[in-house]
Structure 1
């Protein structure tokens, strides 16, 4: 893991297309601004994990339904 120290209004660059800027620091919260191409999905980690879990469950349900249909 790369660990960087940034102050307000300072940024980091990820590849050629993604820039993350520290907008504000207040207490233990940091507000970040992210500039990225529209096709790049950006989610909070907990939302990303939830989406991944739901997609996995949906895929398993689809496989189960297809197996049931084959038995008919």
Structure 2
């Protein structure tokens, strides 16, 4: 089997937003991953890396409008 030649790279802001969305009450991380077209394991890894402080050198403040998300 041939190796992949193209990999998707995501910005720290994208990762922080995905993690923030997955922490909203009544929203499953699996649903967030599906909506963002990423594998759920990737989202769980980003959550762990943010928790450990290894994902971003400077924490990003992410503001999410819950009115838009929950509609």
Larger Cα Rg: Structure 1 or Structure 2?
A: 1
> By percentage of residues, which structure has more helix?
2
> By percentage of residues, which structure has more strand?
1
Q: Answer 1 or 2: higher relative contact order, Cα 8 Å, separation at least 6.
A: 2
